[in-house]
Structure 1
């Protein structure tokens, strides 16, 4: 009877592994979208995207972990990519 007890305790743990992961939350525009970042949120999660930006729009594109200046410009678009080139974040600043 003792061997049945450990197996019975494993069944709930095994069943818990069958539950699918919830979908990641949809990106939401920043509270204050002074640079128009909301227009580009649909590109988050895509790799190798070509982004058309108006000529008078200040922007910067960098990889996660790259050094960037800490100056805040509410009208500047920031495009953050991971090491594989996937767009992971669009923000103002």
Structure 2
């Protein structure tokens, strides 16, 4: 009798697991990435953070144009993230 129930359980359709939502890269997500502060920038996959990511080392040169979709990641001399902002 137990074998019969075990066999029937295999016939029950299962629902597929939902796929993880793709991040919206059209807007900056500095609030969501604030927890990156203190992380080595080399360990961060920047392609999933924003459409445009700019990594700024100390004393680095950057343009002054404002891009609301751009994520700015500032690092210290060791490559550790010190600040994350939009623009």
TM-score, normalised on structure 1? 0.56
On the 8 A contact 1:63/1:83 being kept in 2, the answer is yes
Going from structure 1 to structure 2, the CA distance change for 1:71 and 1:57 (only over 3 Å counts) comes to same
Aligned pair count reads 60
TM-score, normalised on structure 2? 0.59
Q: Does 1:73 align with 2:73?
A: no
SS in 2 for 1:39: coil
Going from structure 1 to structure 2, the CA distance change for 1:75 and 1:56 (only over 3 Å counts) comes to closer
Structure 1 residue runs of 4 or more that deviate by more than 3 Å after TM superposition: none
Residue matched to 1:86: 80
Gap regions ≥5 residues in structure 1: 1-33
Q: How many Å separate the matches in 2 of 1:39 and 1:72?
A: 20
